[in-house]
Structure 1
Amino acid sequence: MSLSEKELLELKPDHVVDAIGEVCPHTLNLALAGLKKAKPGEIVVEITDHSIATKTIPAAVKMNNYGEFLGVAKHKGNYHIFVKKH
């Protein structure tokens, strides 16, 4: 699935993970904890100011088959990383 930033920001996530001010690996651990709480088909968004998380989270989700990475949107200086749980 390939969504534009506008389309991503219009999604209504089921879970929001606040990782502002956190750095790796904690940003990844927070995202994985959010996915663990989610039910299949639910959308989790992590909001972070740590740009490296935009690479580590999608890679971990894909490598471990935790869900479908939907994309990253930048909004108000933060990154919104969207994942749909399998």
Structure 2
Amino acid sequence: MALKEEELQALEPDHVVDGIGEVCPHTLNLALEALKKAKAGEIVVEVTDHSIATKTIPAAVKMRKNAEHLGTINEGNEYRVYLKKL
């Protein structure tokens, strides 16, 4: 379920992961570690400047079936990847 940008911005994340300056696979590992700590229904947001992470993170959580990708916001050189723990 992809949310609109304004809907994503209105969400209160339960966990925020700082992936700035990191590259794959570390960006993915950071997201997966945060999801392990999250409870079902909680929102995890990874902030990254690595554009490839905007593809690898959603693909990995879909394959693992451990989270739902709610959407990604591009803010200049940074991206916010929104995930909901299943």
Q: Identify whether the pair has TM-score above 0.5, normalized to the shorter chain.
A: yes
Partners in 1 of 2:67 and 2:21 — Cα distance?
Answer: 25
Aligned residues: 86
Structure 1: state its 5+ residue gaps: none
Q: What whole-Å deviation, never above 9, does each CA across 1:8-31 have from its counterpart, x for those lacking one? A: 122100000000000000000000
Which residue type is aligned with residue 37 of structure 1? K
Where 1:27 maps in the other structure, the secondary structure is helix
Q: Does 1:62 align with 2:62?
A: yes
Identity rate, percent? 67
Which residue type is aligned with residue 58 of structure 1? P
Please list every run of at least 4 consecutive aligned residues from structure 1 whose deviation after the TM superposition is greater than 2 angstroms: none
TM-score normalised by L of structure 1:
0.95
Larger CA deviation: 16-25 vs 75-84 = 75-84
Match of 2:2 in 1: 2
Give the deviation of 1:2 after TM superposition. Answer: 2.2
Q: What whole-Å deviation, never above 9, does each CA across 1:13-61 have from its counterpart, x for those lacking one? A: 0000000000000000000001001000000000000000000000000
Give the deviation of 1:77 after TM superposition. Answer: 2.7
TM-score normalised by L of structure 2:
0.95
